[in-house]
């Protein structure tokens, strides 16, 4: 087996007494699409942020290309990544096209940047007229798609999508799912996606990981999702209130 | 027993406060050093610097000018009333000039700009923190210290002396207006007295103070915004803390710098 593109080993993270991650082990092979599912507040966003170094794990290691992230040159490492934040995280002092082309703003001419931005916006279903607007002038779903365009703008090797389709209509969700699939299949990206939407899971995923109570409860190919027999996964995919995952009322 | 535990609690409280203070001083110092390093070492973001110079400097002109003209005028009036027993005409001009240039220009200018700029910076950077824009900057291989902090610090240090120079001039003009129109002084004499009394040291010390205050103002805005708590409440608290700490530090450093410049 080749070295995994991304590997987490025994990652722990607590915020005060809130022990969010309690030993997460996960590995993602090159050009594989991993989808993380799990209840709200279980630490999915924290997990991908710990890969990017935005959150420092208390213990445990994160490896990219078989090397501890702490030993990588940070700037060079981050150049490999694209990230769509759950809230979009667009720079509201910059126009949409400047947001999308942010990474190359200083190295390319204005015209080239605009061209790049318009092309990427088109791929997420936004017309060229959005390019000159400010993020605050866009709807939530449009902001999400601009964030997506920014994440894929420089064709990174590894892309993280934190809930790419929440807030989008079903048709647009499908367009985005197709896009993610395309990136993985055609551009050989390694993708890690967080989503609650089971339709998206089935469409995007090669493999699925279920996070609950700070550990990965199950991970396996998406084809085995329905037959895995894991009670957490069963409850989650069928959206039942009854089961091992307690729903507080 | 209760007395003992009360004393114990009191001492522990003092200890905790002192430790907390040391920790904040350390954190601010570290932050400032990182900011200065980001100013000195490329890459530089000139567009951001230009934007901040406009925001911090240019758009502060009206409020600083207004403060200065009012202060200069009031100062002339007060000194005339208090000092009319002496040679009012020369005393008013020189005290207005020295007072404005050495002290009131930098300090009042600093306090007014602190209210305006520290708050704005803390709110902006705090919001960026809360909405993950700072995390996004990092993932886009952009160091937030270079992109956000350095341009603001540098803009503060560069623009505050200019603002204060303008404030000094306008303040003296305010004194002149009151002196000539209200108190019936001779305009030419007023200006000659002003020029005769002011030394290079007066002006330079005021401008150095201004540069230091500019650093303090932007540093407090950046520091509190950068370390803002979560949510709108966190940003609100960061904004308040930025303004209050900037003002306190301006007053403290004003004293220290005055000691440094004039106590020989
Ligand atoms: N900066 C922080 N400080 C303190 N606690 C935090 C912080 N960030 C996250 N948490 C806590 O960590 C837990 C996991 O957060 P995370 O954002 O990873 O959840 P999530 O699985 O992405 O949920 P959702 O599906 O709702 O986005 C939450 O309980 C949250 O309160
Ligand atoms: Mg999340």
Contacts of A87 in chain B (CB under 8 A): 131-132
Closest ligand (CA of A43): 1
| Structure confidence at residue B84 as a pLDDT band (50, 70, 90) | low
Contact yes or no for A89/A44 (Cβ under 8 A): no
- Tokens, residue B148: 């956000």
| B218-223: average pLDDT | 97
Task: List the A6-15 sheet strands across, edge first.
Answer: A18-28, A6-15, A59-64, A67-68
The answer to whether the bond into A72 is cis (omega within 30° of 0) is no
Distances (CA, A) of B16 to A16, B134, B155: 19, 31, 36
For tokens 């956000």, the residue is: B148
Kindly identify which residue of chain B lies nearest to residue A48, measuring between CA atoms.
Answer: B139
Closest ligand (CA of A195): 1
Interface of chain A toward chain B, CB-CB under 8 angstroms: 49, 52-54, 75, 78-79, 81-83, 85-87, 89-93, 102-103, 106, 150
Kindly identify which residue of chain B lies nearest to residue A160, measuring between CA atoms.
Answer: B139
Q: Which of A54, A75, A106 sits opposite B135 (nearest CB)?
A: A54
Contacts of B49 in chain A (CB under 8 A): none
Q: Specify which residues A33 forms β-bridges with.
A: A191
For tokens 């009031």, the residue is: B74
Binding site membership of A31 for ligand 1 (Cβ less than 6 Å): no
What pLDDT, on the 0 to 100 scale, is given for residue A75?
A: 86
Binding site membership of A56 for ligand 1 (Cβ less than 6 Å): no
Q: In whole angstroms, give the CA distance from residue A150 to residue A143.
A: 10
**For residues B148 and A175, which has the higher predicted lDDT (pLDDT)?**
B148
What pLDDT, on the 0 to 100 scale, is given for residue A8?
A: 94
What pLDDT, on the 0 to 100 scale, is given for residue A1?
A: 60
Contact yes or no for B247/B111 (Cβ under 8 A): yes
The contacts of residue B162 (CB under 8 Å, 6+ apart) are B57
Q: In whole angstroms, give the CA distance from residue B247 to residue B223.
A: 14
| Structure confidence at residue B219 as a pLDDT band (50, 70, 90) | very high
pTM of the model: 0.89
Q: Which of A64, A74, A73 lies closest to A4 in space, CA to CA?
A: A64
pLDDT tens per residue across span A4-26: 899 999 999 999 999 999 999 99
Left, alpha or beta for A32 (phi > 0: left; psi -120 to 50: alpha)?
Answer: beta
What pLDDT, on the 0 to 100 scale, is given for residue B80?
A: 85
Contact yes or no for A84/A164 (Cβ under 8 A): yes
Q: Longest Cα pair distance anywhere in chain A, in angstroms?
A: 57
* A11: three-class secondary structure by DSSP: strand
- Tokens, residue B128: 């960026």
Q: Which of A11, A41, A22 lies closest to A245 in space, CA to CA?
A: A41
What pLDDT, on the 0 to 100 scale, is given for residue B82?
A: 76
Strands A59-64 and A6-15: antiparallel
Q: Do B139 and A78 touch (CB under 8 A)?
A: yes
Q: Give per-10-residue mean pLDDT for chain A (249 aa).
A: 87 93 93 92 93 93 91 89 92 94 90 93 91 92 91 92 89 89 88 91 93 92 88 87 75
What is the A21 CA–ligand 2 centroid distance (Å)?
Answer: 13
Binding site membership of A46 for ligand 1 (Cβ less than 6 Å): yes
Binding site membership of A86 for ligand 1 (Cβ less than 6 Å): yes
Closest ligand (CA of A16): 1
Burial class (CB in 10 A: 0-12, 13-18, 19+), B143: middle
Strands A33-37 and A207-212: parallel
Distance from CA of B231 to the nearest CA of A (A): 13
What pLDDT, on the 0 to 100 scale, is given for residue B29?
A: 93
Binding site membership of A212 for ligand 1 (Cβ less than 6 Å): no
Task: List the A190-194 sheet strands across, edge first.
Answer: A81-84, A158-162, A190-194, A33-37, A207-212, A215-221
Q: Which of A137, A131, A89, A127 lies closest to A114 in space, CA to CA?
A: A131
Q: Which of B168, B176, B174, B207 lies closest to B193 in space, CA to CA?
A: B176
Contacts of A49 in chain B (CB under 8 A): 135
Is the model's pLDDT at B3 over the cut of 90?
Answer: no
| B29-51: average pLDDT | 93
- Tokens, residue A222: 């998406």
Q: Considering Cα of A127, then A133, then A138, then A143, what sign does the dihedral take?
A: positive
Binding site membership of A165 for ligand 1 (Cβ less than 6 Å): no
What pLDDT, on the 0 to 100 scale, is given for residue B5?
A: 85
pLDDT tens per residue across span B87-108: 777 788 888 999 999 999 999 9
The mean predicted confidence, pLDDT, of chain B is: 91
Q: Which of B124, B135, B141 sits opposite A89 (nearest CB)?
A: B135
For tokens 């007229």, the residue is: A129
Return the top range by mean pLDDT from B64-73, B75-84, B91-100: B64-73
| Structure confidence at residue B230 as a pLDDT band (50, 70, 90) | confident
Q: In whole angstroms, give the CA distance from residue A81 to residue A189.
A: 10
| Structure confidence at residue B1 as a pLDDT band (50, 70, 90) | low
What pLDDT, on the 0 to 100 scale, is given for residue B20?
A: 85
Domain ranges across chain B: 45-262
What is the B244 CA–ligand 1 centroid distance (Å)?
Answer: 31
This model of the complex carries an ipTM of 0.89
Tell me how far the alpha carbon of residue A222 is from its chain's centroid: 17
Binding site membership of A20 for ligand 1 (Cβ less than 6 Å): yes
What is the A45 CA–ligand 2 centroid distance (Å)?
Answer: 4
How large is the C-alpha radius of gyration of chain A?
18
Distances (CA, A) of A33 to A25, A46, A65, B129: 17, 19, 16, 29
Helix (H), strand (E) at residue B17: helix B2-40
């Amino acid at each position: 087996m080749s070295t995994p593109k991304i590997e987490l080993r025994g990652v722990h993270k607590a915020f005060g007494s809130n022990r969010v991650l309690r030993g997460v082990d996960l590995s993602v092979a090159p050009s594989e699409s991993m989808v993380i599912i799990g209840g709200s507040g279980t630490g999915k966003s924290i997990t991908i942020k710990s890969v990017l170094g935005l959150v420092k794990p208390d213990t445990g290691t994160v490896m990219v290309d078989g090397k501890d992230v702490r030993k990588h040159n940070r700037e060079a490492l981050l150049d490999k990544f694209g990230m769509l934040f759950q809230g979009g995280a667009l720079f509201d002092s910059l126009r949409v096209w400047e947001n999308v082309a942010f990474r190359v703003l200083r190295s390319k001419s204005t015209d080239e940047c605009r061209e790049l931005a318009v092309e990427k916006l088109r791929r997420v279903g936004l017309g060229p007229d959005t390019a000159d607007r400010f993020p605050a002038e866009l709807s939530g779903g449009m902001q999400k798609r601009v964030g997506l365009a920014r994440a894929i703008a420089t064709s990174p090797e590894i892309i993280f999508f934190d809930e790419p389709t929440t807030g989008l209509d079903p048709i647009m969700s499908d367009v985005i799912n197709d896009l993610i699939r395309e990136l993985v299949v055609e551009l050989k990206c390694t993708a890690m996606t967080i989503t609650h939407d089971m339709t998206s899971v089935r469409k995007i995923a090669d493999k699925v990981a279920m996070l609950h109570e700070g550990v990965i409860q199950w991970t396996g190919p998406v084809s085995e999702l329905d037959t895995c027999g894991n009670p957490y996964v069963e409850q989650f995919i069928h959206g039942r209130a009854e089961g091992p995952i307690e729903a507080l009322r | 027993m209760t007395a003992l535990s009360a004393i114990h609690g009191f001492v522990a409280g003092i200890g905790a406060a002192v430790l907390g203070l040391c920790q904040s001083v350390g954190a601010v110092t570290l932050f400032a050093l990182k900011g200065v390093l980001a100013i000195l070492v490329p890459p530089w973001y000139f567009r951001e610097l230009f934007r901040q110079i406009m925001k911090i400097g240019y758009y502060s002109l009206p409020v600083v000018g207004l403060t200065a003209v009012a202060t200069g005028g009031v100062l002339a009036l007060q000194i005339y009333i208090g000092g009319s027993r002496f040679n009012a005409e020369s005393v008013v001009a020189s005290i207005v000039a020295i007072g404005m240039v050495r002290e009131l220009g930098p300090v009042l200018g600093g306090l007014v700009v602190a209210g305006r700029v520290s708050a704005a910076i803390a709110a902006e950077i705090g919001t960026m923190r809360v909405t993950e824009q700072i995390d996004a900057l990092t993932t886009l291989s952009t160091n937030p210290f270079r992109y956000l902090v350095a341009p603001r610090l540098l803009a503060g240090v560069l623009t505050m002396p200019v603002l204060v120079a303008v404030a000094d001039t306008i303040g003296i003009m305010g004194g002149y207006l009151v002196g000539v129109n209200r108190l019936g002084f001779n305009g030419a004499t007023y200006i000659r007295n002003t020029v005769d009394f002011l030394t290079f040291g007066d002006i330079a010390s005021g401008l150095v103070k201004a540069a230091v205050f500019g650093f303090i103002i932007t540093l407090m805005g950046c520091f509190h915004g950068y370390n803002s708590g979560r949510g709108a409440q966190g940003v609100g608290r960061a904004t308040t803390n930025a303004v209050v700490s900037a003002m306190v530090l301006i007053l403290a450093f004003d004293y220290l710098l005055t000691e440094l410049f004039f106590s020989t």
